[in-house]
Amino acid sequence: MTTPEAFSRIKIRVGAVLFCGTEVALIQRERDTGAVHYSPPGGNVETGEDLLDALRRELAEELGLDHEQATVPELLRVIDQRVSRPGPTPPPRKLHLLYRMHVTPQVRATLAAEEYDELPDGTYDVGRVVWVDHREAAGLPVFPPVGEALAALAHPRAATGDAALHAVTDENYTWV
């Protein structure tokens, strides 16, 4: 059950649906429970930071991608997250802004194969960068939950209607 303080703070996360042909880059992580989940590369927007600057910074940090090596970011999906999480800190409401971008096979060959996320104790959580055909994303535990929306694209450059996906709440999501 959420407390009154839950979701009183709002964080913004930017991420990239980064295509190379029909494949999309995802960060694969294993949890202590043995569960595996995937997420688009990206991260939280820092205080006062421009959204696209945050996206560029995150892609440089996680993949070694220079923004000039990819197409101009196009807002693809927006997800409103209001999900309780374990721990003493009240969960924030998080808005996920996912931008579609494309790279060539030559650029893809230069990108990182692992992503290092620093933990509070100074150690690192290592994620593997995997490339998955976007049509297979519906069968993966992707967070934010965009797998079905990616799989539904007729092709990687297909036009989409409304960018907003259904909100992620305690009623429709369980942490992996």
- pTM across the whole model: 0.88
Please write the tens of the pLDDT for every residue from 107-147.
999 999 999 988 889 888 899 999 999 999 999 999 999 99
Dump the DSSP string for 9-32: SEEEEEEEEEEETTEEEEEEEE-T
Report CA dihedral (37, 40, 43, 48) to the nearest 10 degrees.
-150
10-153+161-168 topology per CATH = Nucleoside Triphosphate Pyrophosphohydrolase (3.90.79)
Residue 148 confidence (pLDDT):
94
Q: Are 67 and 103 in contact (CB under 8 A)?
A: no
Residue 76 confidence (pLDDT):
95
**Mean pLDDT, rounded, for 37-51:** 96
State the Cα–Cα distance between residues 122 and 108, nearest whole angstrom.
Answer: 29
Nearest in space to 96 (alpha carbons), one of 160, 37, 143: 143
Please write the tens of the pLDDT for every residue from 147-165.
999 999 999 999 988 888 8
What size, in residues, is the chain? 176
